[in-house]
Amino acid sequence: MRWFVVLLFLLPGTVSANDWAALEQPGAIAIMRHALAPGTGDPSTLQVGDCTTQRNLDERGRAQARAIGEAFRSRGIEFDKVFSSQWCRTMETAELLGLGAVTAEPALNSFFQDFSTRDSQTADARALIKREQGRLMLVTHQVNISALTGRATRSGEVLVIRAGSQGVEILGSILIAP
């Protein structure tokens, strides 16, 4: 029995979470961790706009981003605005989703290597969510999502959230494995 349970965790799944209906709730916003980009963090020489100085998507990550976009399109889910961190892996993820024109948003940039900006960036992300109208897709990083929601995410995972009086409320999760 133990081997069966282990096998279930090792089998790749197309969809690991299926909270598509959460997107139909009033005020629902999709916030996504960029697709698979092997490694952790970025080199200390990171320069925004120079992809050679950053950790980037690999082919599995690119395929994952395309599959996520296709999953949204096949369900007829559209977004009024798509915002992304300025990091190359998030911009590429957002573009490969094919869900609309992508707008770079500094509030979604990673603060993994400099936690001193955590609170201000999280406040800016909350302000973005409150200010923008329509259905939003935000593509960002694990640390940003954790700071905003209190929940960790996997590469390519989409949390469905809604702005609330005490921050954000998590309505659901969608994960299409790489």
pLDDT of residue 43: 74
pLDDT band at 1 (very low <50, low <70, confident <90, very high): very low
Task: Report the percent of the chain where pLDDT is more than 70.
Answer: 90
Contacts 24+ apart (CB under 8 A), 116-123: 118/143, 118/147, 121/147, 122/147, 122/148
CA 33, 34, 38, 39 dihedral sign is: negative
For residues 170 and 161, is the Cβ–Cβ distance under 8 A?
yes
Rounded to 10 degrees, the C-alpha dihedral 58/59/64/66 comes to 120
pLDDT, tens only, 50-97: 989 899 999 999 999 999 999 999 999 999 999 999 999 999 999 999
d(C-alpha 151, C-alpha 148), whole Å: 8
pLDDT band at 17 (very low <50, low <70, confident <90, very high): low
pLDDT, tens only, 106-133: 999 998 888 888 999 999 999 999 999 9
In this predicted structure, the answer to whether residue 7 has a pLDDT above a threshold of 70 is no
Q: What is the rounded radius of gyration, in angstroms, for the C-alpha atoms of the chain?
A: 16
Q: pTM of the entire structure? A: 0.88
